[in-house]
Structure 1
Amino acid sequence: MIKVFIVMFAYFPCFNDAVAQKFEFPGKRKKEIVPFKMAKNLMIIKLMVNGKGPFNFVLDTGVGLMLISDPSLIDSVAIKTLRSINITGFGDGDPLSAYVTPSIDVGFGTTTAKGLSAAILRKDIFELSNYVGMPVHGLIGYEFFNSFVVKINFTLNTLTIYRPETAYIARKGYRIPLMIEDRKPYLISNIQLDSGEKIAAKLILDTGAGHPLSLETNGGVPFEVPKINIAGNLGIGLSGPISGYISRVKSLTFGKYTLTDVITAFPDYDDVASKVYSVSRNGNMGIMVLRKFNVIFNYNESALYIKPGVTLNEPFEHDMSGMELTSAGENFERLIVTRVEPGSSADEIGLRNNDEILAINFKPVTEMTASEIDNLFRSKSDRSFILDVLPQGSKNIRNRERVILTLKRRI
């Protein structure tokens, strides 16, 4: 699956007239533990909107203003006082038509936020529900992280939220300074490029980006893409598709820890870097780095605390099948091939766009999550799977074909 770099979330523009409101605990309550779900490297939490729901939202530090990507919520939760706007963002395309509302009520666990501003897309261009195989209605970032001290346990998939005034102290955690600019967190990280050059990079810390690292610009010019790379589609931005390359850098420092052979996206300069106006930066660090740790965000202290998790020493791997897959059907129970990378393992066995995968190693895909399938196809080079495939255009299950897909590491 090529499209694992969900860089579009990090770059949603913030509206200057939006006034940030905060979530409040009821009574004297000081903390709460709430589960979240990981779906293809996206953190999904449940929110109530105007007293209705729950609805699934991506928890995304790269979003400066709450974004509702599913326009059907306008009627479902009776959102009023809408103003039409045109917004621009990353990608190769025209500005996007959307609404902005100055006042919705949002609930998370026992906490509530009154009168949040939000942007609402007129059309769900991201199609996150199909990407992760479950309903997704939007994204929330700054309003959430600015309301709490947020402890994320990626081992247990739990969020512990604290009142910011409790002065929570992270024990045995390494402190990394953050810069909160344009309602998003930034840090400085030392990176050694494939050429051997070392740079101190300013990166947005982006829980909504499905990649480990993305490098956009080096002093106003594009980064040199390493010779070993994969050209492809890196995701969808507010203004359309984002093209670029996927490769590796030699090392990345995160606090006192050095990670090696880090999978890195190199987006097309015109699609991304040329459209960053408000904050000077080199790129972003995504959730595949964060997931190697248990982390605590404290926006009030402009700090991040990290503690190594069980996957710290596991290598970074990219998809080895060469397929982009999307979930389809009323309950997202179907798995459709939407793109095949030329020369990849999927291409070599003849898989094509609109083929439908029915089973993997004789297990129906209806019994598997999108994340499970994604993890299988990035698990180990030379690992083989038996796929039951319904060729494009065929509706008769008797026409299924059985093929053997052998994974191949390409970067």
Structure 2
Amino acid sequence: MVIKLSINGKGPYNFILDTGVGLMIITDPKLADSISIPSKRTLKIPGLGEGTDAEAYVTSALTIDIPGLVSYDVAAAILKKDLFSLSGYAGMPIHGLLGYEFFTNLAVKISFQDSTITATRPKDLKVFRKGTQIPITIEDRKPYVQSKAVLQGGKIVNSKLIIDLGAGHPVSLEKIIPIYGLPQKFIASANLGIGLNGPINGYIARLDELDIGKFKIKGIISSFPAETDGMNRLSVPRDGNLGIGVLKRFSVIFDYSGGYMYLKQSSAFKEPFEHDMSGLEYYAAGTNLDRIIINRVEPGSAGDEIGLEKDDEIVAINFKPVSKMSLEEIDELFRSKDDRSLLLDVYHEKKLDKVVLTLKRRI
């Protein structure tokens, strides 16, 4: 979820709305040139991933202007290096992450169906008709919810999850493997995403069910990160992470001051969970972020079987240039249907090839 905002009267800049960050994070180091930093005090930000803690400069108090809203004296951190390359993965320029400062004094309603956000004073909040009120806690400036995960085989695990709008997956469970081992069927994925400490490695498998409040979410795909030192150094103990892959199946209201989240299921609630069936990881490149470059091919996947390789460039899919497609459209195509054939135009070894990619469900 991307919103436009101005900082100290300059911008607009594109920020991802992310309940998973407590401190506003400017991920584009170039913004430091236009934002006053009175001292070069360095802050270390812990998180998941295989590397060391991220380093950032602390800013002076900022004025953040979102259409209809102005916030003063907002603290932020500017990363010394762009660790996430969010622009490449979003297919549009991304300058940072906005979390707690946006949610703390407002009631925020998010409708994923029509891509709208409505912010009101908590006292003026009008909740959903037929919505469900779910208690949340705010700890270290981030929201948490209690859930029950039903593993393959029926084992029930009570889980405290951080609610993370910035995470693309449905759910991630961080402590399952050391205690319960891997599920019977899984994907050994080398990269589950990028955290503040670098790449997150681990596995992907299905849960029988995830229960949140009265909602029982069947056949959900879960990430299972490999254990890292970062998990043991988080400021708030937790069992995992609830991402936008689940939240977008609802309309959601966050009321931090009241300690509740309200959920109302949408028409997308019962859609099956599908994982990528191509085996390709890719990013947007070029001045206009309209080129699609493969940065990894999963061994044994559909993409691997037809000889696609790292640094190949996808030019068109089913005769449609990728420059006229969003990354979301491409993602949806690659997880659309088992055994579906797609015609790809690909620059491979400095020549343009046409190849047929037959999608293969792996989980």
Query: Above 0.5 in TM-score?
Result: yes
Distance 2:75 2:232 in 1: 27
Assess if the C-alpha contact under 8 Å between 2:17 and 2:165 holds in 1: yes
Determine the structure 2 residue equivalent to 1:309: 266
**Which amino acid in the other structure matches residue 360 of structure 2?**
K
Going from structure 1 to structure 2, the CA distance change for 1:141 and 1:391 (only over 3 Å counts) comes to same
Assess if the C-alpha contact under 8 Å between 1:162 and 1:168 holds in 2: no
**Which amino acid in the other structure matches residue 334 of structure 2?**
F
Distance 2:42 2:239 in 1: 32
Assess if the C-alpha contact under 8 Å between 1:175 and 1:304 holds in 2: yes
**Which amino acid in the other structure matches residue 405 of structure 1?**
L
Note the C-alpha offset of 1:237. Answer: 1.9
Say if 2:76 is the partner of 1:118.
yes
Say if 2:307 is the partner of 1:350.
yes
Note the C-alpha offset of 1:271. Answer: 5.4
Determine the structure 1 residue equivalent to 2:286: 329
SS in 1 for 2:355: strand
Match of 1:50 among 1, 5, 8: 8
Note the C-alpha offset of 1:167. Answer: 4.4
Note the C-alpha offset of 1:83. Answer: 1.9
**Which amino acid in the other structure matches residue 360 of structure 1?**
I
Which 5+ residue runs of structure 1 have no aligned equivalent? 1-42
SS in 1 for 2:246: helix
SS in 1 for 2:332: helix
- TM-score, structure 2 normalization: 0.96
Determine the structure 1 residue equivalent to 2:358: 406
Counterparts of 1:124-163 in structure 2 under 5 Å?
A: 124-163=82-121
Assess if the C-alpha contact under 8 Å between 1:216 and 1:272 holds in 2: no
Distance 2:108 2:144 in 1: 16
Say if 2:334 is the partner of 1:382.
no
Distance 1:80 1:133 in 2: 33
Assess if the C-alpha contact under 8 Å between 2:47 and 2:231 holds in 1: no
Counterparts of 1:19-34 in structure 2 under 5 Å?
A: none
- What do residues 10-55 of structure 1 show as CA deviations (whole Å, max 9, x unaligned)? xxxxxxxxxxxxxxxxxxxxxxxxxxxxxxxxx1111111111111
Assess if the C-alpha contact under 8 Å between 1:207 and 1:287 holds in 2: yes
Say how many residue pairs are matched: 362
SS in 2 for 1:330: coil
**Which amino acid in the other structure matches residue 402 of structure 1?**
K
Distance 1:237 1:222 in 2: 23
Say if 2:276 is the partner of 1:319.
yes
Distance 2:38 2:338 in 1: 52
- TM-score, structure 1 normalization: 0.85
Distance 2:125 2:67 in 1: 21
Distance 1:105 1:83 in 2: 20
Note the C-alpha offset of 1:81. Answer: 4.4
Going from structure 1 to structure 2, the CA distance change for 1:134 and 1:222 (only over 3 Å counts) comes to farther
SS in 1 for 2:270: coil
- What do residues 189-213 of structure 1 show as CA deviations (whole Å, max 9, x unaligned)? 1111013101221111111111111
Counterparts of 1:1-400 in structure 2 under 5 Å?
A: 43-217=1-175, 221-232=178-189, 233-270=191-228, 272-276=230-234, 278-392=235-349, 394=350, 399-400=351-352
Note the C-alpha offset of 1:227. Answer: 2.2
Which 5+ residue runs of structure 2 have no aligned equivalent? none
Distance 1:294 1:82 in 2: 42
Distance 1:56 1:91 in 2: 25
Assess if the C-alpha contact under 8 Å between 1:223 and 1:266 holds in 2: no
Note the C-alpha offset of 1:80. Answer: 4.3
- What do residues 54-84 of structure 1 show as CA deviations (whole Å, max 9, x unaligned)? 1111101110000000011111344544422
Distance 1:283 1:264 in 2: 10
Distance 1:242 1:167 in 2: 38
- What do residues 333-354 of structure 1 show as CA deviations (whole Å, max 9, x unaligned)? 1100000000000000000000
Distance 1:55 1:404 in 2: 39
SS in 2 for 1:231: coil
Note the C-alpha offset of 1:272. Answer: 4.8
SS in 1 for 2:20: coil
> What's the % identity of the aligned pairs?
52
Assess if the C-alpha contact under 8 Å between 1:88 and 1:96 holds in 2: yes
Distance 2:219 2:17 in 1: 27
Distance 1:223 1:239 in 2: 25
Going from structure 1 to structure 2, the CA distance change for 1:223 and 1:270 (only over 3 Å counts) comes to farther
